Amino acid sequence: MCLVLTLTLGCDGAAVLPRQSIASTAGTGAQSIVSLWKSVSNPLPSSSGTVPDLTVTGNYYTTPKSPNPLLRSTGILAKRLTFLYGTPLAGGPYFPTGVLGFEKVAADVAYIEATEFPPVLAGTLLDDTQATADYSKYNDLETVADYTKLYSNECRNQLPSGPAPGAETNYTEDLFFSMERLSNSPYQVRRLNPTSDTLAFTIADNIAQNLTGRTLNQLFQAGRLFYADYRDQGELTRTDRYAAACDAYFYIDPSSAKFLPLAIRSNYGANLIYTPADDAADWILAKIVFNVNDFWFAQWNHLAATHEVVQIAYMAAIRTLSEEHPVQAMLNRLMFEVFAVQPLAQTVLFDPGAAVDLTFAYTGQAAQDYSTDYYQNKGSGRFVDNYFQTDLQRRGLINCTYGPALSHFPFYEDGTVIWNAINTFMTSFVQSYYSSDSAVDADSELQAWAKEANGPAEAIDFPTSISSRSTLIATLTHFAHLVSISHHTVNTNELLSLSSTLPFHPTALYAPLPTIKGNTSVVDFLPPFDKVLEQLTLTALFARPQFVGTNRTLMHMFDDQAMLGKMNAQTRSAASAFMSSMQAFSSQVSGRTFGSDGLSQGMPFIWQALDPNVAPFSLTT
């Protein structure tokens, strides 16, 4: 890490780092992705006028019944006049505009560029240079197994401990593939309800019976059948790479109680349906084909489901809550750098010729449209409806009344520990400022926030009023959940360490899908070396190993001395209790090993994405 920091201070990226390129084309795409990253700037036209002074003048945050009401409403009015709803950027909801809007976006972009990107860019470029120099190690990527060599003592700046243990040794296990739906990519799979769902496709009874001891319909009737559906990717605009539009069944095995894959249908070309009864090569290809669709969904949905949901609710808060308000102070902390992301998504990912066009099977414009469709029309933009337990229960993953419980659910297990700690903190915080529900109801600024969010901001499914302590606690807990648990499960360090690890998770296929089974060479579908470097570079830019052990991690979520100094003793004590509980959880997560069965949390890999001493406290890119 020191090496990285030293280099960073002395250089400005690609130009000064040596490149010992083997293949002449290798690395050019990787470098261009880095260049895009460096070119991000405030996208808004600078507008003239006076930026309101947002300095908190009092010694303590106060709710609006307190002194100085005139000053307070003048401050809010100044924000309302200068922080405006502008055209969406990179899709989704409104993006800030106006003098204050410009100022806030510019500040977030400038901060992220000055403090966060330099070590990330330097680490990524060093890794890229090293990977290129070590080309002879990879045996020309002639076999699928050669792709695991890409991680042997590689990527060590942006991935200091290497890939998630098991990711490069156990990826052929069916349990590896299925348990990813319950850990690092948990937002698509749902249990089928025999009273309200129908089967999208069938597989022969004797095949299902051979694999599971039951027919497909028997599994379905018993509430043991699960489904993931990516058919909506079939119509997207393609690049010159390939992808299918899979849907797939998973099931809880009647004898082992394990959650396993049962069938994958490609919905593309010959529309083959694969099962574990197929040849090994066909079946692993089917899982890779599914993973391409899954990665697409996980990434473009996360923009809609986390960044954009909190962005618009926060914008409504800025226009209605005084900067003196403790809730505004809390949101200011949780929304750290929030406005830097859409400009970055536009420039680095979605623009013509940018990273999506370079590395995915569909275009950058398709990615943006797909993301916005999930935000606006497919439920990801909804606030209350996506509360942690509400979402999981709706999908039949917890508290299911018509089928057996999952024996392991790592996303829920780890998420619950953190969610409970956040909720406990928010309960103390809210109770310390509001002695009753009627005190919340009497807070005119909170009422204005809910009205604004549901009115001009057009936030989706935000609470229609915030008139009880429990509603305020739930609202704030969900903000904190989205910026931490929800986001870092599918993004940040997790991309490079697990969900885009090769050979199992390419961002696109490099050959058209087979039209028959039994003639499959899996390696033909995997990226060539220059595309490998692009995928590694792109995902490395999202990693934040530099945060480990610093006050940017989750355990420091409320450890903002400037904020706590203006809060009450009860909140300060809740913040330190949060930190202790997260420290304890970090010890548990970082100490995970494989059991004698070769599993951790019921999975053949070790999942540590939510270690509170590693994952950030806020949204990152």
Give the residues lining the site for ligand NAG (CB under 6 A). 165-166, 169-170, 173, 206-207, 210, 277, 398-399, 516, 519, 521, 524, 551-552, 560, 594, 598-599, 604
**Cβ of residue 501: shortest distance to ligand NAG, in angstroms?**
13
Return the structure tokens found at 332: 């200011």
Cα(541)–Cα(31) distance, integer angstroms = 12
**Cβ of residue 111: shortest distance to Fe ion, in angstroms?**
16
207 is in the binding site of which of ligand NAG, Fe ion, none (Cβ under 5 to 8 A by kind)?
A: ligand NAG
**Cβ of residue 400: shortest distance to ligand NAG, in angstroms?**
9
In angstroms, the first-to-last Cα distance of the chain is: 20
Name the residue nearer to Fe ion (CB basis): 301 or 491. 491
594 is in the binding site of which of ligand NAG, Fe ion, none (Cβ under 5 to 8 A by kind)?
A: ligand NAG
Cα(259)–Cα(182) distance, integer angstroms = 9
523 is in the binding site of which of Fe ion, ligand NAG, none (Cβ under 5 to 8 A by kind)?
A: none
491 is in the binding site of which of Fe ion, ligand NAG, none (Cβ under 5 to 8 A by kind)?
A: Fe ion
54 is in the binding site of which of ligand NAG, Fe ion, none (Cβ under 5 to 8 A by kind)?
A: none
Beta bridge partners of 273: 265
Name the residue nearer to ligand NAG (CB basis): 201 or 594. 594
Q: How many CA atoms lie within 13 A of 243 on its CB side?
A: 30
**Cβ of residue 12: shortest distance to ligand NAG, in angstroms?**
24
Number of separate helices (H) and strands (E) present in the chain: 24, 7
| Burial profile 442-480: b = 16 or more Cβ within 10 angstroms, e = fewer | ebebbbbbbbbbbeebebbebbeebbbbebbbbbbbbbb
**Cβ of residue 564: shortest distance to ligand NAG, in angstroms?**
11
Cα(605)–Cα(167) distance, integer angstroms = 6
Is 15:123 a contact under the CB 8 Å cutoff?
no
382 is in the binding site of which of Fe ion, ligand NAG, none (Cβ under 5 to 8 A by kind)?
A: none
| Count of CB atoms situated within 10 Å of the CB of 74 | 13
CB-based closest residue to ligand NAG: 598
**Cβ of residue 515: shortest distance to ligand NAG, in angstroms?**
6
551 is in the binding site of which of ligand NAG, Fe ion, none (Cβ under 5 to 8 A by kind)?
A: ligand NAG
337 is in the binding site of which of Fe ion, ligand NAG, none (Cβ under 5 to 8 A by kind)?
A: none
Is 256:267 a contact under the CB 8 Å cutoff?
no
Cα(400)–Cα(559) distance, integer angstroms = 37
Name the residue nearer to ligand NAG (CB basis): 165 or 261. 165
Sequence-ordered list of residues with C-beta below 8 angstroms from that of 129, at least 6 positions apart, any chain = 17, 18, 19, 20, 27
**Cβ of residue 306: shortest distance to Fe ion, in angstroms?**
7
Name the residue nearer to Fe ion (CB basis): 246 or 304. 304
Name the residue nearer to ligand NAG (CB basis): 10 or 518. 518
Interface contacts to Fe ion, rule CB under 5 A: 491
**Cβ of residue 301: shortest distance to ligand NAG, in angstroms?**
24
Classify 233 as helix, strand or coil. Answer: helix
